[in-house]
């Protein structure tokens, strides 16, 4: 089985669009890795996340704003030969984004970002109460580095993904 790196924007954005959650990795205030699942929005090379106004993640990012966000499509277990254990694999795609978090405080910008977040899940328009907007912590992450991968590809099929 092969893992193939893909840099095409269409693949990266398609993979992100297919996801319903992401995993945000950071370094906590004790210097240890800390990864949490989150829902998200994505637009124009910026990932948007939201949380409560306080907590481990917020304290960690205030101390060190570097973040790694992983998106992974629903995977599928496949095999080449049903009775050969080594031929089984998990097949899917992923995108890893790296950047630095800034917290958005401007009320109107928060509303715009909440609309981006909701657009990941529905086309329906929303209205937000003033207290809800004031109390939500909006994370804005311009993507500094991005990597897309397809994993679990049988070696025989890997040539379809390689650049000439």
Q: What is the pLDDT of residue 6?
A: 81
Q: Taking the chain (164 residues) in consecutive chunks of 10 residues, what is each chunk's mean pLDDT?
A: 78 93 97 98 97 96 98 82 77 93 98 96 94 97 94 58 48
The CA distance from 83 to 68, in Å, is 38
> What is the predicted pLDDT for the residue at 24?
98
Query: Residue with structure tokens 């995108």?
Result: 95
pTM for the model: 0.86
Q: Is 61 helix (H, G, I), strand (E, B) or coil?
A: helix
Q: Is 82 helix (H, G, I), strand (E, B) or coil?
A: coil
The greatest distance separating any two alpha carbons of the chain, rounded to the nearest whole angstrom, comes to 59
d(CA 57, CA 136): 14
Per-residue confidence (pLDDT) for residue 3, from 0 to 100: 73
- Ordered domains of the chain (ranges, CATH): 2-157 (2.30.110.10)
Of 2, 161, 153, 13, nearest to 97 by C-alpha is 13
Collapsed DSSP state (helix, strand, coil) of residue 134:
helix
> CB neighbours of 27 closer than 8 A, spacing ≥ 6?
33, 34, 60, 63, 64, 66
């Amino acid at each position: 089985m092969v893992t193939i790196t893909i840099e095409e924007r269409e693949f990266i954005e398609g993979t992100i669009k297919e996801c319903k959650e992401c995993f945000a990795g950071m370094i906590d205030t004790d210097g240890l890795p800390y990864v949490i699942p989150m829902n998200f929005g994505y637009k124009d090379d910026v990932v948007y996340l939201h949380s409560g106004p306080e907590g481990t993640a917020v304290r960690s990012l205030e101390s060190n704003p570097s973040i790694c966000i992983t998106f992974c499509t629903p995977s599928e277990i496949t095999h080449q030969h049903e009775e050969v254990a080594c031929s089984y694999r998990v097949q899917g795609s992923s995108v890893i984004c790296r950047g630095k978090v800034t917290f958005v405080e401007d009320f109107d910008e928060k509303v715009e970002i909440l609309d981006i977040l909701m657009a990941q899940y529905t086309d329906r328009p929303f209205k937000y109460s003033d207290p809800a907007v004031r109390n939500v912590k909006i994370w804005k992450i311009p993507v500094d580095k991005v990597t897309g991968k397809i994993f679990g590809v049988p070696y025989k099929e890997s040539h379809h993904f390689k650049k000439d």
